[in-house]
Structure 1
Amino acid sequence: MRRARIGAAAAALLVAAAALAGCASGATATKQIVGVAMPTTTSDRWVNDGKNVAAQLRALGRTVDLKYAEDDVPTQVAQIQAMIDEGAGALVVGAIDGTALKDVLAKAAAANIPVVSYDRLIRDTPDIAYYATFDNALVGAQQADSLLEGLGVLDAKGADTHVTGPFLIELIAGSPDDNNATVFFQGAMKVLQPYLDAGVLVVGSGQTDFATIATPKWNGDTAAQRLGPILDTVYANKRVDAVLAPADIISVPVLEVLRSHGYGTADKPWPVVTGQDADIPAVKALIAGEQHSTIYKDTRQLAEVAVSMVESLLKGEEPETNDNASYDNGVKVVPSYLLKPQVVTKANYADVLVGSGYYTQQELG
């Protein structure tokens, strides 16, 4: 890490707002525009991402063009093209399909518009300048660790308890067009594979390859529809002990299909179900004892990183990074800043989510 300013409260960015706004002139007005392209409003986390990025940029005197494409790739391409056409000085892009933006980003490059890839790595193009995200391999490892802890295979300190099982589990992965989904899965399987090899864990359905368990467009209903028949057949006369769900947008529908199969009762306790993003419905399920864990990724901090990158780029400076080796997008290794995620359970949600001001207790019920 070349500098250590990232991770300070986003409020620190507000201090410079008046000065930056005062320095803006009519001649550079178009360069004040920052295009922010986000994938969808169907997930709370993406709504919050867009709001946080836009608010922090506006506080610094930037004009923001914030658009959501509702998981439609042609719409996102058209939105980015419109941002280029209006003379944006920089783009922040949370991609729907990490492989579908090559042509439109080439146009951004031709117009000398730098692009920050936001949370999801944009692949197969040289035309992204930097990548702002969380440590996605760690996210997967944390999901796997929390699953093992929920089963009692690991204790609260992460030490192996030497229980032999076998515990029956099912695996769900994210969208195949999102590079993060692969990284989450690989991070989780690096932790789980030794226990699968030893027979402590058994995937009852036998479905373990990414292509089979992936969930296009992160659609939770699709994941639930895949799990339902497995519960009907493989688990007709036995109980699933855990489900590795990669995100809350998937875990919540999974909980509903489990409920419809009699789980959540004295005879069939809830399996250990993981998640990610600390969405309010999932946190409520966690508090109710239905979902075991989620992974908290403070989108305020991620927005701060992305905004800091944009500010540096617009000033002709080199943004701060802390990883220049991990993220190869198929054309180049993209300089990145990785934030650290955190496991949230019923035991610590109040301290982590409410104590940090991310949610109020009233929002969580």
Structure 2
Amino acid sequence: MNAILRRTLVGTTAVSLALALAACGSSDGSPSASATGAKTIGLLLPEKASSNRYEAFDKPLITDSIMGLCSRCSVDYANANGEESTQKEQFEALLTKGVKVILLDPVNAKNTAAWVDEANRQGAKVIAYDRLAAGNVAAYVSFDNERTGELQGTALTDAIGPKAKDAQIVMINGAEADPNAAAFKAGAHQTLDGKVKAIGYEQSGEWQPTLAAQKMNEAIRSLGKDNIQGVYSANDGMAAAIVDAMHAAGMKNVPIGGQDASLDAIKRILTGDQSYTIYKPYKPEADAAADIAVYLLKGLDVASVARGNIQSGDQQIPSMLLTPIVVTKQNVASTIVGGGLYKAADICTPEVAAACQDAGVH
């Protein structure tokens, strides 16, 4: 675990302990969260299909962290399953219930300003989680997304090796409506432009694996399978479909990477079908979100826990931006297993057992 992440974890833990005392020490007999929403924190996550992280990690980790800080609090959770209109209805339902703090990871971050402004009018605070929602949000918790893109680009050129300067690559980016995707793309271009000979094909896969495979097939038809030396995929869900498309076209040993450290991606990295992923440790992100949410629920200033600001339009938004980690075959054991994301037994199923042995994952 790197030094920045260690500092984040230590700081978050200290704040969590302080908050646990402040948030749970009341015995004022307030009405229950289910009755008034006053002690309820809303949690709205965007989708389930292209990444399993939200259901498997974000939801349980955030819920557990909030309850650890405030035993009388409750979490009102919903997942929009990729539908912006559904998320809008979920958001409005929380306001109707009187929920005063909402953690929002938007399906379409560009279209949330009216929602956030209405929440503010009703005295509710919105925390942008993982993606920066439009509007006057109270705080923002995520990873350094441009840095994530830089790491993706560097990892791809490292995987291609000395021939990178003569390489032609394909880029399959994330959703056009997702500001994180724009940051990943910008960061990747910073480390790819001038380091590879050409980006021969670049399109958005919209975080949809099926669409990403279609785009990859277009790239193969356009450029020729023997003229592609590397593939940038914005996440692991799309990378899985792209790998299948490459295999179907007879392409082998072409470096490709993603992000999210999904379990299937870790297996592909060990077997050599994927070169790298980006691991964004979910627990410190969840803990930071929970800290800020409980601070706001108690009416406290979030500056001490946010520890930074980002500029969004004419706003300075209190923020907590964490540091991502590149994962390759060489460090799966230390980062993924050592960091507690997955157990070796989860990774090293029979078809991956030999690769795990070679990589020292056990």
| Residues in 1 aligned to 2:164 and 2:212: alpha-carbon distance in whole angstroms | 29
Q: What is the CA distance between 1:15 and its match in structure 2? A: 8.7
Aligned residue for 1:333, secondary structure, equals strand
Describe how 1:130-149 pairs up with structure 2 within 5 A.
Answer: 130-149=139-158
Partner of 1:32: 39
Tell me whether 1:108 sits opposite 2:116 in the alignment: no
1:296 Cα offset (Å):
0.3
Q: 1:14 Cα shift?
A: 7.1
- Rounded to whole Å, the distance in 1 between the matches of 2:46 and 2:65 is 19
Please name the residue that 1:234 is paired with: 223
Moved more, 23-32 or 332-341: 23-32
Equivalent residue for 2:9, pick from 3, 7, 10:
7
- Give the aligned residue type for 1:138: R
2:54 matched residue in structure 1? 46
Gap change, CA 1:356 and 1:261, over 3 Å in 2: same
Find the aligned partners of 1:139 and 1:164 in 2 and give their Cα distance. Answer: 20
Equivalent residues of 1:322, 1:338 under 8 A apart:
no
Q: By how many angstroms is 1:41 displaced? A: 2.1
Deviation, structure 1 residue 89:
2.6
Unaligned runs of 5+ in 2: 1-5, 349-362
Q: Distance in 1 between matches of 2:321 and 2:12?
A: 16
For 2:30 and 2:113, the matched residues in 1 are separated by 31
- 1:118-157 equivalences under 5 Å are 118-123=129-134, 125-126=135-136, 128-153=137-162
The corresponding residue for 1:311 is 294
Query: Does structure 1 residue 340 correspond to structure 2 residue 323?
Result: yes
Q: Distance in 1 between matches of 2:17 and 2:335?
A: 24
Which residue matches 1:170? 170
Task: Count residues with an aligned counterpart.
Answer: 332
Alpha-carbon distance in structure 1 between the residues aligned to 2:319 and 2:188: 21
Matched, 1:223 2:212: yes
Are residues 18 and 338 of structure 1, via their aligned partners in 2, closer, same or farther at CA, if it must alter by over 3 Å? closer
Q: 1:214 aligns with which of 204, 228, 241?
A: 204
Residue type at the aligned position of 2:30: A
Q: How far apart in 2 are the matches of 1:144 and 1:202?
A: 13
> Does structure 2 conserve the Cα–Cα contact (< 8 Å) formed by 1:10 and 1:300?
no
Letter in 1 for 2:283: R
Structure 1 gap ranges (5+): 154-162, 265-269
Residue identity opposite 1:27 in structure 2: S
Query: Structure 1 or 2: larger helix share?
Result: 2
Q: Any idea what SS the aligned residue of 1:194 has?
A: coil
Q: In structure 1, the residue corresponding to 2:193 is in which secondary structure? A: helix
Query: How does the TM-score come out when normalised to structure 1?
Result: 0.85
Deviation, structure 1 residue 333: 3.4
Structure 2: how far apart are the matches of 1:321 and 1:17?
A: 17
Structure 1 pair 189–32 and aligned structure 2 pair: CA distance change class (3 A): same
Q: TM-score, normalised by structure 2?
A: 0.86
Q: CA deviation at 1:313?
A: 1.4
**Matched residue SS, 1:95:** coil
Over the matched positions of the two proteins, sequence identity in percent amounts to: 27
Q: Which residue of 2 aligns with 1:158?
A: none
Measured in 2, the distance between the counterparts of 1:333 and 1:178 equals 20
Shift in Å, 1:9: 8.6
SS in 1 for 2:110: coil
Residue of 236, 260, 265 corresponding to 2:248: 260
Distance between the aligned counterparts of 2:330 and 2:101, measured in 1? Answer: 41
Look up the equivalent residue of 1:92 and give its one-letter code: L
Residues 172 and 215 in structure 2, CA contact (< 8 A), matched pair in contact too: no
Greater Cα offset, 20-29 or 227-236: 20-29
Match of 2:359 in 1: none
Aligned residue number for residue 350 of structure 1: 333
Asked if 1:248 is matched to 2:236, the reply is yes
* More displaced stretch, 74-83 vs 315-324: 315-324
Give the whole-Å Cα distance in 2 for the aligned partners of 1:102 and 1:248: 29
Cα–Cα, structure 1 residues 51 and 215, in superposed 2: closer, same or farther, change >3 Å? same
Separation in 2 of the partners of 1:7 and 1:175?
30
How far apart are residue 169 of structure 1 and its match?
A: 0.7
CA RMSD of aligned residues (A): 2.2
Pick from 308, 312, 317 the counterpart of residue 323 of structure 1: 308
Aligned with 1:151: secondary structure? helix
